[in-house]
Structure 1
Amino acid sequence: MQVGYARTSTEEQVAGLEAQVRDLEAAGCERVYREQVSALGERPELKDALSFLRSGDTLVITKIDRLARNTRALGDIVDDLHKRGVGLKVLQFGKETLDTTGAYGRLMLNMFAAFAEFERDLMKERQKEGIAKAKVEQKYKGRKPTARAKAGEAIELFRQGRSVSEIAKAVGIGRGSVYRALEAAGLKEPSPSQ
């Protein structure tokens, strides 16, 4: 059985996720796991896909970087798959696919993974250089502070009697940010005994 795994880093990348799913289904995947989460975060769908696979199955991905962030993580996943008798197929290479069930495929996978990691490192270096230049030119604004933008909503929920944990979850910010917003507004969470 061919099982597909599709991932994008953010929820805004809907078209990218849909394109991956389309390609995986066109490649013959009977089941496709999909998620929109950073490779650094928890990936429950990947975990489910990996635990679903049985000996003789093949995990199919569209690109190497959808599965792992670096060569070490990729190697760990591929080693686990091969120990269990599961193949890995990468569709990234146009009409040709990379199949890691043989020695040549595993060699090529490691080479491509190393190039992908190198390319990512170069991109991060260029990004840092661009940010440094923008800061010197006083053009760098950085990311909008999410928690500050949601402080009013957090305060309103607190006034409605919601707990800090409930507010953090509802608003999508950390508990510490909720406490800071309440403190700035001169509010205090009641102690558990009240």
Structure 2
Amino acid sequence: MNKLIGYARVSTRGQQADRQIEDLVAAGVRRDDLYVDHGVSGARTSRPGFDQALAALQSGDTLVIATLDRLGRSTQSMLTFAQQLRERGAGLRVLNLGGGDVDTSTPMGSMVFTVMAALAQMELDIKRERITDSVAKRRAAGKDLGGRRRAFTDSQIRSAMKLIDAGEPATQVARDFGMSRATLYRRIQQLSVGDSQVLAE
């Protein structure tokens, strides 16, 4: 019997995968077929939960992820991965890609996946370039030298989370935003708790 194998990932231990898990279960994935990585960057080649999900995947099965960035790889790597799944006789389904549910086992789904993977990589490159440019300007103006510690907005922390999710080293992201890694992790945890409370209400 063909199965849906679900995979969820959060890059820091302060984040929760509940929302991803809810989406996967709603899409038909059984909880026994769910694999989750906590505090694991998408840039790492070895991800225990991801490796277990792939090991459980058989011909005819479909790997289901909530969003494309859960793979956390470059465009070429994501396309290669999708092709490897096809060669194994397995499919890849992304629940929230381009505003819809995309199954790469179909010709249209494969095309949409290719385009969105390229756009995701371009968005990351642009965001990285903007951050680097902003940091360079602050340093040139001497704004990051001593003085009162900056207050970081939730929007900035969410941007940092997206970069980490996409595979950027947390230490580098924290440095680019002008904060320590400990401060970044603390703010991510606070933001995740706040989001969970809002959802509970």
TM-score (norm 1): 0.68
Structure 1: unaligned runs, 5 residues or longer: 147-194
TM-score (norm 2): 0.66
The one of 108, 112, 115 aligned to 1:111: 115
Superposed displacement of residue 2, structure 1? 0.6
C-alpha distance 95-144 of structure 1, shift in aligned 2 (>3 A): closer
Give the aligned partner of residue 5 of structure 2: 3
**Structure 2: which amino acid aligns with 1:12?**
G
Return the alpha-carbon distance in structure 2 between the equivalents of residues 69 and 40 of structure 1.
7
Superposed displacement of residue 52, structure 1? 0.9
Return the alpha-carbon distance in structure 1 between the equivalents of residues 54 and 22 of structure 2.
20
Give the aligned partner of residue 100 of structure 1: 104
Structure 2: unaligned runs, 5 residues or longer: 146-177, 183-201
Give the aligned partner of residue 71 of structure 2: 67
Give the aligned partner of residue 41 of structure 2: 38
The one of 47, 53, 72 aligned to 1:49: 53
Return the alpha-carbon distance in structure 1 between the equivalents of residues 106 and 61 of structure 2.
15
Give the aligned partner of residue 144 of structure 1: 180
Count of residues in correspondence between the two structures: 144
**Per-residue CA distance 1:56-114 (angstroms, 9 max, x = gap):** 11110111111132111112211111111111111114873101112221111010000
1:101 is paired with a residue whose SS is coil
C-alpha distance 108-94 of structure 1, shift in aligned 2 (>3 A): closer
Q: Does structure 1 retain, via aligned residues, the 8 Å contact 2:5–2:61? A: yes
Return the alpha-carbon distance in structure 1 between the equivalents of residues 14 and 134 of structure 2.
23
Return the alpha-carbon distance in structure 2 between the equivalents of residues 127 and 90 of structure 1.
28
C-alpha distance 137-66 of structure 1, shift in aligned 2 (>3 A): same
Return the alpha-carbon distance in structure 2 between the equivalents of residues 38 and 70 of structure 1.
13
Percent identity (aligned): 38
Q: Which has the larger radius of gyration?
A: 1
Residue 51 (structure 2) pairs with residue 58 (structure 1): no
Give the aligned partner of residue 127 of structure 2: 123
**Per-residue CA distance 1:15-48 (angstroms, 9 max, x = gap):** xx21111111111111111113111123121111
RMSD over equivalenced CA pairs, Å: 1.9
Return the alpha-carbon distance in structure 2 between the equivalents of residues 124 and 94 of structure 1.
21
**Per-residue CA distance 1:130-189 (angstroms, 9 max, x = gap):** 11122123233734377xxxxxxxxxxxxxxxxxxxxxxxxxxxxxxxxxxxxxxxxxxx
Q: Whose RCO is larger (CA < 8 A, sep 6+)?
A: 2
**Structure 1: which amino acid aligns with 2:87?**
K
Return the alpha-carbon distance in structure 1 between the equivalents of residues 118 and 98 of structure 2.
19
C-alpha distance 22-59 of structure 1, shift in aligned 2 (>3 A): same
